[in-house]
Structure 1
């Protein structure tokens, strides 16, 4: 598969700007990012690259960023080999072990998850995924019907299943993620996870006990009404993919319009995950 690389160089960029830009680039098809000395490289499948879409994202930052970028066609590579070099096993809360197929099995952990991410987001290493996994480890998942929005590799739904969830619907608008969730569910012998490709319009008319949504602030604000419409009374939503200031207050205010009450939140670095209860 042929890829293009967009090599960004910044005069100065704050961590929060770096993370927001990457999140917005992911929304237009970029699926891999590598930090460099003066910025980062963003990769996208060649036939999905549209420079007009890239410039629309950059224009949104106004004068906040001073940057240059170069678009480079890159030779086909063994992408699995590339991420294998950088994917190390992860332990969460001392009882959840996340590894790839080429890592050693460690049966002493209560929950072991095998993930082959390929080009899909979600190995547990990013702060947002880690916090969502911590919430899943704390919550009562037994016999719950769970919706996982922006599912990526399917890691959150897989953990929910291992924690006793009865049924998981995993939705992502990226074809690679959709297929990745299916493959990873099979790797983990999970038979109660259904992977769907799409966005809020793909959410089935099911009463969900728990909703997981690790996306970004703007998409969450757009989709909260859809989540609320399929969440049972007293059901729980766990959100992540945004910052404490100003994002959390914006999400609290919007959730209140749909009878979703703030419970608490977690924070790692600049990132936040939050829990809301319906009713």
Structure 2
């Protein structure tokens, strides 16, 4: 698959203006972001890059916040090989060791997850994944019914299963991600994880004790009502994929309207993961 790198240069405005722009770009199909001096780089499958939509988005930025961009086409390459050269094991909260198949095991940690991403998001390196895992490790999950919404590699679903969840449903709208979960669940001996390709409409009629949603602010806002309907009373919702500050405030307000009470959050490099309880 051919990818495009779009380098954005930002001047003026508030810090949260760039945060909202990144969230909007996520809705357009950009799936990876990298900080750069004076802005950031964003990556998208070239076939999904809609320059007209991008121009329209940038024209409607707040007054005083100016954004320009340059598109660089990335030469086709073996992405798995690139990933293997750069991937290092990750330790989360001194409890969970995340590694690839070519790394040595580390039995001194209570939980070990072996991941082959195959271009799917979620290896524990990104701040949002790490934050979600930290919050999960502080919860009582044993015997519960868990949903991993926007599952990527399935790392959160796998951790939920290893923490004793009775059932885990992992959903993503990208078939590459779903295929990655199917492989990774076998690799981690948690074959009882169920997978599905689609969106929040797939959870109608299901009930969960915990929902994990590491996506982006706008999609979370769209799906909050579905999460609230699917959660049992007293159930827990963990959300990430957004920034501390404005994004978090918007999500807290929206969650309250659906009977989801905010109980706290953690942050790392401005990224946030928040916890809510169904009232």
TM-score, scaled relative to structure 2: 0.89
Give the stretch that moved more between structures: 57-66 or 234-243: 57-66
The match for 1:87 is: 87
Report the count of equivalent residues: 279
Q: 1:116-127 residue pairs with structure 2 within 5 A?
A: 116-127=116-127
The corresponding residue for 1:133 is 133
Moved more, 33-42 or 134-143: 33-42
Q: Is the 8 A contact 1:148 1:156 kept in 2?
A: yes
Residue correspondence of structure 1 range 173-252 to structure 2 within 5 A: 173-252=173-252
Identify the range of structure 1 (190-199 vs 37-46) with the bigger mean alpha-carbon deviation: 37-46
Distance 1:15 1:129, change over 3 A: farther
Once the two structures are overlaid, the 10-residue window that deviates more, 50-59 or 101-110, is 50-59
Separation in structure 2 between the aligned mates of residue 159 and residue 89 of structure 1, nearest angstrom = 16
- Using a 3 Å threshold, how does the CA distance of structure 1 residues 239 and 37 change in structure 2: closer, same or farther? closer
Deviations 1:88-119 (A, max 9, x none): 11111111001122222112111001112232
CA contact (8 A) 2:96 2:113 kept: yes
Alignment deviations for residues 136-185 of structure 1 (CA, whole Å, 9 cap, x no partner)? 11111111110111211111111000000011111122232222222222
**Aligned partners of 2:27 and 2:219 also within 8 Å:** no
Secondary structure of 2:69 counterpart: strand
Stretches of structure 1 that go unaligned for 5 or more consecutive residues are none
Quote the Cα distance in structure 1 between the aligned partners of 2:80 and 2:228: 38
Matched ranges for 1:61-76 at <5 A: 61-63=61-63, 65-76=65-76
Structure 2 segments unaligned to the other structure (5+ residues): none
Provide closer, same or farther for how the CA distance between residues 77 and 13 of structure 1 changes in structure 2, counting only shifts above 3 A: farther
Taking a change above 3 Å as real, the CA distance of residues 15 and 105 of structure 1, as seen in their structure-2 partners, is farther
Q: Is this contact kept in 1: 2:23–2:217, CA < 8 A?
A: no
Q: d(CA) in 1 for partners of 2:237 and 2:163?
A: 17
1:225 partner SS? helix
Kindly report the root-mean-square deviation, in angstroms, between the aligned alpha carbons of the 2 structures.
2.3
Q: 1:103 to 1:54 in 2, by over 3 A?
A: farther
How has the CA–CA distance of structure 1 residues 254 and 4 changed in structure 2, closer, same or farther, with 3 Å as cutoff? closer
Contact 2:23 2:218 in 1 (8 A): no
**Whole-Å separation in 2 of the counterparts to 1:269 and 1:35:** 11
Q: Which residue of 1 aligns with 2:26?
A: 26
Deviates more, 1:27-36 or 1:207-216: 27-36
Asked if the contact 2:151/2:177 (under 8 Å) is kept, the reply is yes
| Secondary structure, counterpart of 1:213 in structure 2 | strand
- Give the distance between the partners of 2:216 and 2:76, measured in 1 at CA: 30
2:131–2:266 CA contact under 8 A, matched in 1: yes
Cα gap change, 1:119/1:63 in structure 2, threshold over 3 Å: closer, same or farther?
A: farther
Bigger shift: residues 253-262 or 155-164: 253-262
* 1:32/1:119 contact within 8 Å kept: no
- Following the alignment from structure 2 to structure 1, what is the Cα–Cα distance between the partners of residues 267 and 36? 26
1:256-275 equivalences in 2 (<5 Å): 256-275=256-275
Residue 52 of structure 1 corresponds to: 52
Tell me, in whole angstroms, the C-alpha distance in 2 between the residues paired with 1:12 and 1:45. Answer: 29
